[in-house]
Amino acid sequence: MYKQTNMSKLTTEEQNAKQLKKDFYAEAKLRKAKKISRLDLIGKLAELAENKYTKGYLQMVGDVKMNKRGNELFGRVTKFSGWGFDVNIAYTRKVNLQLEKEGKEADFVAAETYTEKVNEVVHRHKTNGTLYMSCFPALNFGAFSQYLVDNRPATPEEIAIIKSFLPAKSDSSRQGTEKEIIIRKPKLENIHFISLLGERYSIIDNIEKMTA
């Protein structure tokens, strides 16, 4: 996780970004991760899609959706997170398996979304072409999250502000399951570390982009 070491010396967003990049590379070295490009990552995920039901782990930095009006932190907040994942099973099938497990009729059909399948793991935005990884988070496996403001850890006061401007979550679900099936689609450009098929990878151009 991103450490708050010597943060008092980093007074600008650019300096914070340099420190964040340094920490990412240090962790990649510690994990003995192979350096690959985002294009290589797409190839690895295509290979993953050809395998059977597969587990892995990733770390990413993504934007945080916040309400804008009166929000002094709007546009400055990201979230650094890591979590395990399962792939290679369709969302509809995953929900129906859970319905069967709960003794209910397996009649769930997923609604249309903003993405289309490239393969079982990689999805593409229907209009702008952005690539995503479709996966089911295993939040009991190395999961953590941390808010960043201007590429440095948010203070307790800033975290309180962030939480007060987060959009309300909808409690509605069409699944009909007692245990909700959660699906996530992180942008490939936001993933800086991933472990899959017995290997660990550090995605270099993603690190350079997110800490520029």
**164 falls within a domain:** yes
- Given this model, what pLDDT does residue 36 score? 95
Q: Is residue 44 domain-resident?
A: yes
64 in a domain, yes or no?
Answer: yes
Asked if residue 107 is part of any domain, the answer here is: yes
Note the pLDDT of residue 7: 47
Whether the pTM exceeds 0.75: the reply is: yes
Total structural domains within the chain: 1
Q: Classify residue 166: in a domain, yes or no.
A: yes
Considering the chain, what is the average pLDDT of its residues? Answer: 88
Tell whether 149 is covered by a domain: yes
Can you tell me the mean pLDDT for 10-28? 77
pLDDT in tens, 182-206: 999 999 999 999 999 889 999 999 8
Least confident of 27-31, 84-88, 127-131, 200-204: 27-31
Domain of 121, in residue numbers: 15-210
pLDDT at 3: 53
In-domain check, residue 43: yes
Is 5 within the bounds of a domain?
Answer: no
SS3 for the chain is CCCCCCHHHCCCHHHHHHHHHHHHHHHHHHCCCEEECHHHHHHHHHHHHCCCCEEEEEEEEEECCCCCCCCCCCCCEEEEEEEEEEECCCHHHHHHHHHHHCCCCCCCCCCCCCEEECCCCEEEECCCCCEEECEEEECCCCCEEEEEECCEECCHHHHHHHHHCCCCCCCCCCCCCCCCCCCECCEHHHEEEEEECCEEEEEHHHHHHHCC
